[in-house]
Amino acid sequence: MNYNIDFDIASAAICSVILLFSLLRFTANTLSNGKYCTLTVALLFGAILDAVTGWTNTGAYVIPVGLNVALNTLFFVVSLFAGYTYQRYVSVFIFQTKKHNLNDKIGDVIAILYFAFLIANIFTGMLFYFEDGSYCFGPLHNFGFYIPGYYMLNGFIMAIVYRKKLKPKQLFAIMFFGPCSLIGMLLQMLFFPNILVTYICSTFGCMALLFVIETPDYAKLMKTMSELEKARQEAEVATRAKSDFLAKMSHELRTPMNAVLGMNEMILRESTDNNVIGYAGQVKAAGAVLLSTINDILDFSKIESGKLEIINSEYSLKKMILDCKNLIENRAQEKALEFSIHNDEQLPSVLIGDEMRIRQVIINLLTNAVKYTEKGSIRLDVGMTSIEEPDIVILKISVTDTGMGISENNLPKIFSSFERLEAGLVKTIEGTGLGLSITKQLLDLMGGTVSVESMPGRGSCFTVSLPQKISDRVPVGLIVKAAEKPGKREKYAPLYVYPEARFLVVDDVKTNLVVLTALLKKTEASIDKAESGFEALKLIEANRYDIIFMDHMMPAMDGIETMKRIKSMENNPNASVPIIALTANAVNGAEKMYIEAGFDGYLSKPIGADELEHEISKYMNSREQ
Q: How far is the CB of 293 from ligand ADP (least distance, A)?
A: 8
Q: Which amino acid is at 282?
A: Q
Q: Does the protein bind ligand ADP through residue 370 (CB under 6 A)?
A: no
CB of 530 to ligand ADP, least distance (A): 40
Distance (Å, whole) CA 418 – CA 434: 5
Name which of 434 and 547 has its Cβ closer to ligand ADP.
434
| Nearer to ligand ADP among residue 400 and residue 574 (C-beta) | 400
Please list every residue from 291 through 330 that binds ligand ADP, using CB under 6 A: none
Q: To the nearest whole angstrom, how small is the minimum distance from the Cβ of residue 391 to ligand ADP?
A: 33
Shortest gap between Cβ of 401 and ligand ADP (angstroms)?
Answer: 5
Helix, strand or coil for residue 105?
helix
Q: Name the residue nearer to ligand ADP (CB basis): 258 or 368.
A: 368
Q: How far is the CB of 462 from ligand ADP (least distance, A)?
A: 7
* CA distance linking residue 141 with residue 173, whole number of Å: 30
Q: Which is nearer to ligand ADP, 85 or 460 (CB)?
A: 460
Residue 443 Cβ, how far from ligand ADP at the closest point, in Å?
Answer: 13
Based on CB atoms, which residue is closest to ligand ADP, 405 or 533? Answer: 405
Q: Which is nearer to ligand ADP, 53 or 367 (CB)?
A: 367
Q: Whole-number minimum distance, CB 457 to ligand ADP, in Å?
A: 10
Min dist CB 369 to ligand ADP, Å, is 5
Nearer to ligand ADP by C-beta: 429 or 478?
429
590-597 and 559-568 are packed helices; what angle lies between their axes, rounded to 10 degrees? 30
Q: Which is nearer to ligand ADP, 7 or 300 (CB)?
A: 300
Q: Which of residues 483-502 bind ligand ADP (CB under 6 A)?
A: none
Whose Cβ is closer to ligand ADP: residue 438's or residue 603's? 438
User: d(Cα 576, Cα 53) in Å, to the nearest integer?
Assistant: 101
CB of 209 to ligand ADP, least distance (A): 59
Residue 74 touching ligand ADP (CB under 6 A): no
CB nearer to ligand ADP: pick between 121 and 292: 292
Binding flag, residue 436, ligand ADP (CB under 6 A): yes
Of 381, 346, 347, the residue nearest 362 (C-alpha): 381
Q: Which three-class secondary structure state does DSSP give residue 324? A: helix
**CA-based R_g, the chain, Å:** 43
CB of 596 to ligand ADP, least distance (A): 32
Beta partners for 401?
A: 378
The least CB distance from residue 491 to ligand ADP, in Å, is 30
List Cβ<8 Å contacts ≥24 apart for 35-42: 35/85, 35/88, 35/89, 35/92, 35/93, 36/89, 36/209, 36/210, 36/213, 36/214, 38/85, 38/89, 39/82, 39/85, 39/86, 39/89, 39/206, 39/209, 40/15, 40/206, 42/78, 42/81, 42/82, 42/85
Determine, following the binding rule CB under 6 A, whether residue 460 of this chain makes contact with ligand ADP: yes
CB nearer ligand ADP, residue 106 or residue 297: 297
Helix 102-124 and helix 65-95, axial crossing angle in degrees, nearest 10? 180
Which CB, 255 or 293, lies closer to ligand ADP?
293
- Amino acid in position 291: L
Mark 142-173 as b/e (b = at least 16 C-beta within 10 Å): ebbbebbbbbbbbbbebbeebeeebeeebbeb
Q: What is the rounded distance in angstroms from the CA atom of residue 591 to the CA atom of residue 611?
A: 14
Q: How far is the CB of 341 from ligand ADP (least distance, A)?
A: 17
Three-class SS state of 229? helix
Nearer to ligand ADP by Cβ, of 170 and 432: the residue is 432
Q: Is 145 among the residues that bind ligand ADP (CB under 6 A)?
A: no
The reply to whether 89 sits near ligand ADP by the rule CB under 6 A is: no
Task: Give dist(CA 533, CA 537) in Å, integer.
Answer: 6
Could you tell me if 506 and 562 are in contact, meaning their C-beta atoms sit under 8 angstroms apart? yes
Count of residues that interact with ligand ADP, criterion CB under 6 A: 22
CB atoms closer than 10 angstroms to residue 80 = 23
The dihedral region occupied by 44, where left means phi > 0, alpha psi between -120 and 50, and beta the remainder, is: alpha
Rounded Cα–Cα distance for residues 488 and 148 (Å): 102
- In angstroms, give the least distance from the CB of 255 to ligand ADP: 24
Q: How far is CA 274 from the centre of its chain?
A: 53
Residue nearest to ligand ADP according to CB distances in the complex: 431
Q: Distance (Å, rounded) from C-alpha 11 to C-alpha 468? A: 67
User: Which residues, numbered 373-432, are part of the site for ligand ADP (CB under 6 A)?
Assistant: 401, 403-406, 414, 419-422, 426, 431-432
Half-sphere exposure of 336 (CA within 13 A, CB side): 3
Q: Which of 372, 545, 599, 602 binds ligand ADP (CB under 6 A)?
A: 372
Residue 339 in contact with ligand ADP, rule: CB under 6 A: no
Does 577 bind ligand ADP (CB under 6 A)? Our answer is no
Q: How far is the CB of 367 from ligand ADP (least distance, A)?
A: 8
Angle, alpha carbons 166-169-170 (nearest 5°): 45
Stretch in the footprint of ligand ADP (CB under 6 A) among 218-226, 352-360, 434-442, 508-516: 434-442
Residues 350-369 that bind ligand ADP (CB under 6 A): 368-369
Whether cis (ω within 30° of 0) applies to the bond prior to 456 is no
d(CA 149, CA 132): 31
Strand 601-604 relative to strand 579-583, pairing: parallel
Residue number, 433 or 486, with CB nearest to ligand ADP = 433
Among 256, 433, 494, 598, binds ligand ADP (CB under 6 A): 433
The mark string for 8-27 relative to ligand ADP (x by CB under 6 A, - otherwise) is --------------------
Q: Which residues would be at the binding site for ligand ADP (CB under 6 A)? A: 368-369, 372, 401, 403-406, 414, 419-422, 426, 431-437, 460
